[in-house]
Amino acid sequence: MSFSISDSNGYHLAEVSNISVSGLPGMGSYTLCLNLDFSIHPPKSDIYIQDLTIRLDGGDNHQRMIGISLPETGQKIKIASGINRLHLSFRMPIMPSQMEAIESYRNGGDLKLKIWMTGEVIQGDKSSHLQQTSDFTIPQQQWVEALFRMEYRETMLYEMKLPIDNPSLVKDIVRKAQQHMLNGYYDECVAECRKLLEANDLNDIDKTILKEARNKYKGDSENRQSMTINERFMVLREILAHTTHLAHHHNPGDGYSRKQAQVILGMIVAMVGGLSG
């Protein structure tokens, strides 16, 4: 990572020593906090940076913009002759649809980004244009912690009332499933989904309905057409359980994808929550 600020004579005033991210919850959005630490080469006289702007793009030369932000300290930024370190923080709103695109691009691994920095460097009566760009990678664990602080895990699907029977167990299973998804362990996520169904077993009435539904579903077209709504939901529940089967057994294929795990998690949470109580 090469990222520096120079004056009009080409003298390196500051070099980025560290880039880190954190997060905050937003109102209908998420807030990405970007932190830049600079090592300062003390100038002979005070220098100011104005109109400083940061832009984030997806990495790997995708040139897909995520957002633009201004420094929280405001403009102008003073680099005094006696300091050797500078810390700048930026906040960037991320909409839910953007976050889903970012997570799909990250696919459970590190997050590769490109950062652009523009502005104007002023020293006395001289000024020079600042334009720098650099690729950098946010380690998986740091990004997952940022997602946690943004409260992304709590809203990554949608709000759904959980069953009143043993809610602590249900919440624990859902959080484990979401954590596996964030870490890119999609088979493990699906395995937790199956546990969610097992933790909310059918009552005797529903088991009777399921037995009748199986017979109708295995019959001819007329039998299937005669299935009630409750019977169809019981069959759907059983199919969902069957969909998760390979997460617990040998899978001859490539394993579950992120999209597949997300669909299964969403459907099972909806199934368990929507049909409870």
User: Domain map of the chain by residue range?
Assistant: 4-139, 167-274
Q: Over the stretch 4-42, which tens digit does the pLDDT of each residue have?
A: 777 777 777 788 888 999 999 999 899 999 999 988 887
Q: Residue 97: its pLDDT value, please?
A: 87
- 3-state secondary structure at position 16: strand
Q: Is 107 exposed, middle or buried (0-12, 13-18, 19+ CB in 10 A)?
A: exposed
Token readout for 156 is 């990554």
Its pTM stands at 0.67
Q: How far is CA 263 from CA 148, 195, 232, 256, 268, in A?
A: 21, 16, 19, 11, 8
Closest CA to 59 of 6, 9, 131, 109: 109
Which value, to the nearest 10 degrees, does the dihedral of the CA atoms of residues 131, 135, 140, 144 take? 20
The 10s digit of each residue's pLDDT in 140-189 is 999 999 999 998 866 544 445 555 566 677 788 888 998 898 899 999 99
User: Is the dihedral angle over the CA atoms 135, 140, 141, 143 positive or is it negative?
Assistant: positive
pLDDT digit string, tens, across residues 49-99: 889 999 999 887 667 899 999 999 887 888 877 778 889 999 999 998 899
List Cα–Cα distances, 197 to 6, 144, 168, 239, 250, in angstroms.
Answer: 60, 26, 15, 12, 20
CB 151 within 8 A of CB 139: no
CA pair distance 212, 217, nearest whole angstrom: 9
CATH for 4-139 is: 2.60.40.10
- State whether residue 22 is helix, strand or coil: strand
